[in-house]
Amino acid sequence: MIESVKIRRQCMLDFYSHYEHLCALQGSVPLKAVKANLIQGALDLTVDRIKAADWAPLLNAMRHNKTLTSIGIRSFHQQGLGESGVERYKTYFRRRIPAIRSKDLTGQLCKAVKGCLSISDVIKNLELQGLLLRERDLILLTKGLATASSLESVSLAHCPIGDGGLETICQSIKNSATIRYVNFTGCSLTWQGAEHIANVLKHQAMKRHGEAWAESLRYRRPELDYMSGLRRITFNCNMLVGDRGASAFADCLGEDLWLKALDLQQCGISNEGAKSLLDALQTNRTLVVLDIRKNPLVDHAMMKNVIERVLMNGNSANLEYKWLMSPSSKDALKTRPKKRTIVLGSGRKGKATIRIGLTSKKSVSPGKKNTSVKDSYSPKPLPPGTKGFLPWRTAERAKRCRYFFHLFFLLDLPQCQHNYCGIPVKVTVESASTSETEDTEDLDDVIRHPDLAISLDKINVAKYQQLQLELEECTEKLKEEQRARVKAEERIMELEIENARLRNLNISLSEALHAHSVTNMILEDEGVLGSIENSFQKFHAFLDLLKDAGLGQLAVLAGIDQSDFGLLGHPQMNSTLSKP
């Protein structure tokens, strides 16, 4: 075998060795950042300081590698808005534009990513943050996503791809069998981008419904969680999504059985969009995270209803889908400032360290020192013998203890109120965000204590177990009540049928009784009986006249018997008939 081919095959299995070999061939020094950020097969680089000449061996090593499980390329460079060409030329030496911002280099990066995705069977995560991806770059990236066989997560956070770029990416995402999580935070998307993602969900839902039907044959139960398709979509910091985009998501969420999390922070949603999402949750039982926080146009009551409704879908099996604590769109690309540490004395077993606040960076002229207000101001000490004088050691000790006790009472730590001198305590308190619109839900107070952390963990575990038991009891009660309700409804239906039958029988009996009563009333009337009797008397008198006239044979022919003439007690009729 050719030596170069043998080396290349060996280097495919070791990224850093291949990278060093390529650097040696080029005559350059390997970057320390590459080795420092290569942890357990995951490459995570901040590329703003990498020069153009150092990119070639890195991209070649990435293109032919088969062992990387994660690739993260991040750029935090922010180009000033509204700067003219002259102003940019003046600020060139003060703020140099990174090499990754060039068209050629982004194209080479996307080619390398495409090559790695097409040959690797272990890569699971791809994250490109803050890069200027053109249309041709997205086409290359789409081809790589279409050939990936193990990729599960794709993140293009803060890459201004727009709705057209998202439509290009969706062509490969909708047909992918492995991608489960996509992140399009701050990608300059509008409601049209939301419709593109909604179309992807509908396309995948049609395929998965077919798979679920095939698996449900012969009385089998389909495993919905193991089917392919998206499980989480992050759409934060896209202010032009609005209510129309929220309605597009709501249309596909109503009948979706697979999506677990949808993040819509800072998307310009109002009460109308939140209402459409809440209506979709009435029929959706699988969504466990629907994050519409940091949308100031949504009322607190509406947001509370949405969050309460989506939390009802959560259970212990869906703990992998967490609620994101993402920063705002303005602060997303800023580095975290340093903290200020104050050491408040020491004890026999250790020392107490309290880290408070954030150090503010101010512009300082070259010849001046950066002194804070606290350092520049120091009140004059009182002379001995005057009112209020305290020795400086006593004053410092009293001030320290007073502040320490006040801090413990604020944090509600009863254990530390009595034993703070003998236990090492480290407290970190961060200040709130400078932005007035920043959400106050971010946790800024962090307490670190060895024994306290263990006790808090035990308490949290105990509370979690108790809540689980209560949830199981409530679930059993709910099932029993549902069964009882079904039985009650069946009994109600039976009683309604019996009631209808008895009602019909009652109506028929009442009609018969009414007819009988009318007949009795007619027969009991004396006038009617008298008229009937008079009619019979007249008829008998007519028969007597016939007999007297010798026409008795007519009565015989009519079938009238002789006994019929004695019914009413008239003897003249009998005597007339007895004559010869």
Of 314, 342, 367, the domain-final residue: 314
Residue with structure tokens 């069964």?
A: 483
Of 293, 314, 335, the domain-final residue: 314
Q: Is residue 39 part of a domain?
A: yes
Determine the 3-state secondary structure of 443 from DSSP: coil
β-pair partners for 42: 39, 70
What is the per-residue pLDDT across 347-356, written as a single tens digit (0 to 9) for each? 444 545 555 4
Please give the full DSSP string across 402-439, using - where no structure is assigned: HHHHHHHHHHT-HHHHHHTTTS--EEEEPPPPSSTTS-
Report the pLDDT value the prediction gives residue 4, as an integer from 0 to 100: 63
Q: How many CA within 13 A on the CB side of residue 363? A: 0
CA distance linking residue 175 with residue 146, whole number of Å: 8
Q: Is the dihedral of CA 89, 91, 93, 98 positive or negative?
A: negative
Q: Is the dihedral of CA 481, 487, 488, 493 positive or negative?
A: positive
Task: List the one residue out of 159, 142, 136 whose CA is nearest residue 75.
Answer: 159
Spatial neighbors of 90 by CB under 8 A, at least 6 apart, are none
Quickly state the pLDDT bin for 427 (edges 50, 70, 90): very low
Spatial neighbors of 549 by CB under 8 A, at least 6 apart, are none
Put simply, whether the predicted model's pTM sits higher than 0.75 gets the answer: no
Residue 574 pLDDT exceeds 80 = no
Q: How many domains does the chain have?
A: 2
What is the per-residue pLDDT across 449-505, written as a single tens digit (0 to 9) for each? 455 556 667 778 888 888 988 999 999 999 999 999 999 999 999 999 999 999 999
Residue with structure tokens 């010798």?
A: 550
Q: Is residue 468 part of a domain?
A: no
What is the per-residue pLDDT across 228-281, written as a single tens digit (0 to 9) for each? 889 999 999 999 999 999 999 999 998 888 899 999 999 999 999 999 999 999
Report the pLDDT value the prediction gives residue 192, as an integer from 0 to 100: 96
Residue 68 pLDDT exceeds 80 = yes
Q: Is residue 198 part of a domain?
A: yes
CA distance linking residue 425 with residue 206, whole number of Å: 57
Q: Is residue 259 part of a domain?
A: yes
Residue 407 pLDDT exceeds 80 = no
Identify the domain containing residue 523 by its residue range.
475-529
Report the pLDDT value the prediction gives residue 186, as an integer from 0 to 100: 94
Of 314, 339, 355, the domain-final residue: 314
* Percent helix / strand / coil, the chain, rounded to 5: 55, 10, 35
CATH number for 276: 3.80.10.10
Task: List the one residue out of 155, 37, 52 whose CA is nearest residue 101.
Answer: 52
Please give the full DSSP string across 72-122, using - where no structure is assigned: EEE----PPTT--HHHHHHTTTTSPPPGGGSHHHHHHHHHHHHHHHHH-SS
Q: Is residue 549 part of a domain?
A: no
What is the per-residue pLDDT across 75-111, written as a single tens digit (0 to 9) for each? 998 765 444 444 444 444 446 889 999 999 999 999 9
Q: Is residue 456 part of a domain?
A: no
Cα–Cα–Cα angle for 269, 270, 273, rounded to 5 degrees = 70
Q: Is residue 489 part of a domain?
A: yes
Strand 181-183, strand 232-234: pairing: parallel
Quickly state the pLDDT bin for 534 (edges 50, 70, 90): confident
CA distance linking residue 278 with residue 403, whole number of Å: 47
E strands, 265-369, are: 289-291, 339-346, 351-358
Spatial neighbors of 535 by CB under 8 A, at least 6 apart, are none
Q: Is residue 156 part of a domain?
A: yes
